[in-house]
Structure formats: structure tokens, C-alpha cells
Amino acid sequence: MSLRMDAVQAPIIPIVGEWIRQSPGTISLGQGMVAYGPPPEALAAIPQFLARPDAHRYGPVQGLPELVEALEQKLTRENGFDLSRSRVFVTAGGNLAFMNAVLAIADPGDEVILQAPFYFNHEMAVAMASCRPVVVSTDARYQLRLDTIEAAITPRTKAIVTISPNNPTGAVYPEADLAAVNALCAKHGLWHINDEVYEYFTYGDATSSSPGAAPGADGHTISLYSMSKAYGFASWRIGYMVVPEALAGAVDKIQDTILICAPHISQAAAVGALRAGRAYCKPYVSTLATVRSKVLARLAELGRLAEAPSADGAFYCFLRVRTSMDSMTLARRLIMEHKIATAPGAAFGLGDGCYLRLSYGALAPETVDEGMGRLIEGLRTIVG
């Protein structure tokens, strides 16, 4: 193995997946997925695509023109973008969009600021690019600490990464805080990479905002999206990114080398999904709001044994467990002894203390009690 790859952490989801396979009957609160699938319009687009004479040929690196146009309309209508100085690229999922961004802006040895807890694949991508992740802490509610972010900036810093709504914590950053990060980047000549994969998943009064759409932000802000969550599209691998025009040539080179183009059949299905639009997602998000309320209510039963700040977005809770046990050991024991899977917090950059990420996206209201009952019993038995 190369020294570069040796420095990259092992992806935690396959590790947890192997533990689950060893313990049949496990309920998973580990991987971030939803329980529903794509809209009928997505599946109906497939036979039409297969009838095209060019169905099995390579296509444009940027994406099929009809999908790029549909995404541009969505970004203008829903997110408020003026795309006159930006380009939209269709990627094979949100992870590739992030990898494209890092390779386009950074050189080996450059620094990229991540918020702790971070999304593990972001940290892995930075390391794969031979760059250095600089991890800064968030506050007790997992909100941004702007003073800490600015203090972490050095001459080698190239970008500040934000995720809102957040994976792994479920926090939603206020529009003003994201605007402040934009201002920091403008002041110091940095890039702001904002991940908006969970933009549709907010609850109560929380709302998602797009800092890349703010006036003057299009020169230094990169916005990342995915259809995996909102449209039940995980296996189809369709993400997209909005990049300043100045980066389009670099992204062209990177994507043509790694991918050439996202799978056409998936892109055709994505066009169909966008015809259904956000209205398709709304009832599922409403159901998840009910699930979230039940999850938070059950977590409250743990009392001082564990705590999780109220998560206003995505479909995660980030639980701090009061124990000296490390999170990898605890997560494995919960699977093996109580058949309930979580993701250990060490993978998200929190090695000091014991944290678990709970994903409730695939739970239905009628399965919450069983899943949370196993978790609560497991924690009380193992830790309490």
C-alpha cells in the first residue's frame, strides 16, 4: 500500500456492515439511508432512455444536457443561484463531488479546515489528495465556532468545509453563520466548500440555506448536492456540484480521468425524479419528523447516561455516552450483544470521549420502539 493511502482511515461503514453480517437480525442505525425508493417518474424514464440510439455510448463530462438543464432550473428556483458565472457538474454521488472539489483547488501539503465531528469521507478525501485536514471543534450543540475557524487559518489553508444540514450531527447552521464563513473565505482568499446533501431534511423552524447563492459568493464558493437521500436514489449514484467558472477546466480534467461521465441510465432516471420534484420528498420528510420526535423522546430516557443535542436537520443524532469505553468497542458490543448497529464516533474525528452516530432515516414510526428499545437496553447493560 502507498504511504499516502496508508495514512487514510479505513471506511467505517463497511466495518460496521461486517459486524452486522456476523450478527443476523441486527437493526441498523448505522448507515445514512432512507427507507423509500425513487419516484415512479424516475423508473418510467428508463425504458425511454434504453430506446435511444446513443444509450450505451459515452457522454458529456459535465452531464447529460437535459439533466444539467433540469438541475440549473432547480438551483435557480429553489436555492436562489445566479448561474451566469458558475458551472453545474453531474457526479457519481456527493462523495465524488467533494473529491473533485479538493483536487481542483488544493496541492499536496495544503490544508483544508473541517468541523469536528466531520463526515469521515471528507477527511479521507483530503488525506487521499495528500493534503492535511485541520480539524476545529464545534460548540456543545455542534454549531460553528467562527473564532476557532479563523484562528485555524494558516498560509497553507485552501478551503473551509461546512455541511448543513449536518452529517453526522443533524445540526443546521444559521444562514448568518454560513455567510460569515463566506466572508472569512473572501477575506483570506480561500474556498468555501458547502455540502447541502440534506437540504430537504429540516424540522420545526429550521431551514437550509445556500451560501453559494449569496451575492458575491460565486467566485469562491463550491456547493455540493446529491439525489441519494431526498429521492431514495442511493444506489443510482447521482450527485452534482456548482463550481465557479474558473474551476470548470480543472473539474473537467478530474472527472474525465476518474469517471468520464456519470452512468447515463442513472442520469436519465434523475431527470424523471426531478419531474416529480420536491413534492415527492415532502411526505417522507414529514414521516421522518415523526420518527425523529420518537427517537429524541426515547433517548431522553437515558438520563445522564448519554446525551444528544436536539438535531434539527438530516436524519442523525450524535450521542455522547458517559463511559471510558472507546466508541469502536461500544458499537461492536451493541451489535454482537444487542443486535443494534450505530456508527462509532471515532470515525468522525472525536477520539476524546465516546460518541455514537444514530441514523434514523431508514426507520418507520412502527419500528422506532424496537430499534430504540434495543439501543437503550444495550447502553444500560453495557455502560450503565
- Domain extents in the chain: 3-38+279-382, 40-277
CATH code for 3-38+279-382? 3.90.1150.10
* Predicted confidence pLDDT, tens digits, the chain (384 residues): 888 888 889 888 899 999 999 999 999 998 888 989 999 999 999 999 999 988 899 999 999 999 999 999 999 999 999 999 999 999 999 999 999 999 999 999 999 999 999 999 999 999 999 999 999 999 999 999 999 999 999 999 999 999 999 999 999 999 999 999 999 999 999 999 999 999 999 999 999 999 999 999 999 999 999 999 999 999 999 999 999 999 999 999 999 999 999 999 999 999 999 999 999 999 999 999 999 999 999 999 999 999 998 889 999 999 999 999 999 999 999 999 999 999 999 999 998 899 999 999 988 888 888 999 999 999 999 997
What is the secondary structure of 63-113 as a DSSP string?
--HHHHHHHHHHIIIII---GGGEEEEEESSHHHHHHHHHHHH--TT-EEE
Q: Is 216 left (phi over 0), alpha (psi -120 to 50) or beta?
A: left
Distance CA 149, CA 61 (A): 35
Q: Which three cell numbers stand for residue 193?
A: 466548500
- pLDDT score recorded for residue 352: 87
Cβ-based neighbour number of residue 198 at 10 Å: 26
Report the length, in residues, of the chain: 384
The pLDDT assigned to 31 comes to 84
Cα–Cα distance, 312 to 297 (Å, whole number) = 14
Q: What is the pLDDT of residue 4?
A: 85
Instruction: For the domain made up of 40-277, give the CATH fold.
Output: Aspartate Aminotransferase; domain 2 (3.40.640)
Ordered alpha helix ranges (H), the chain: 3-6, 12-21, 40-50, 65-74, 94-105, 120-128, 146-151, 175-188, 248-258, 264-276, 278-300, 327-338, 368-382
The predicted structure's pLDDT at residue 273: 97
Q: Would you state the pLDDT for residue 140?
A: 94
Residue 364: per-residue pLDDT: 81
Phi, psi dihedral angles at 27 (to 5 degrees)? -90, 130
Start-to-end CA span in the chain (Å): 41
Q: Is 69 exposed, middle or buried (0-12, 13-18, 19+ CB in 10 A)?
A: middle
Residue type, 93: G
Given a contact cutoff of 8 angstroms between Cβ atoms, the answer to whether 89 and 256 are in contact is no
Q: Give how far Cα 196 sits from Cα of 193, 331, 356, Å.
A: 10, 28, 22
What separation in angstroms does the CA of 363 have from each of 102, 184, 244, 367?
33, 39, 38, 6
Q: Please tell me the distance from the alpha carbon of residue 234 to that of residue 314, in angstroms, as a whole number.
A: 15
Cα–Cα distance, 292 to 295 (Å, whole number): 5
Residue spans of alpha helices (H) in 189-277: 248-258, 264-276
∠ CA 95-357-149, nearest 5°, is: 65
